[in-house]
Amino acid sequence: MIIVYVLVAVMLVASIAAYLFKDLVNAVIAAGLMSLMTSILFYFLQAPDVAMAEAAVGAALVPAIFIIAIKRTGRYEE
Partner 1 sequence: MRRIIGIVLLAIVVLGITLSLAEIPFGTPKTHVGDYYVNEGVKETGAVNIVTSVVLNYRGFDTLGEITVLFIATIGLGALLKTHKERKKKRDVTPASLVLSTGCRFLFPLLIVFAIYIIFHGHLSPGGGFQGGAIIASAFLLTYLGCNRARANERRYKLIESSGGLVFVIVGVLGLIFGGYFLLNFLPKGTPFSLFSAGIIPIIYIAIGLKVGSELVSVIDNMVGESV
Per CB under 8 A, 45 contacts partner 1:
no
Confirm if 11 and 41 have CB atoms less than 8 A apart: yes
Per CB under 8 A, 75 contacts partner 1:
no
- What distance in Å separates the CA atoms of residue 46 and residue 21, rounded to the nearest whole number? 33
Task: Report the nearest approach of partner 1 to the CB of residue 27 (Å).
Answer: 18
| DSSP string for 19-39 | HH-SBHHHHHHHHHHHHHHHH
Please count the residues of this chain forming the interface with partner 1, following the rule CB under 8 A.
15
Q: Which residues bind partner 1 (CB under 8 A)?
A: 48-49, 51-53, 56-57, 60-61, 64-65, 68-69, 71-72
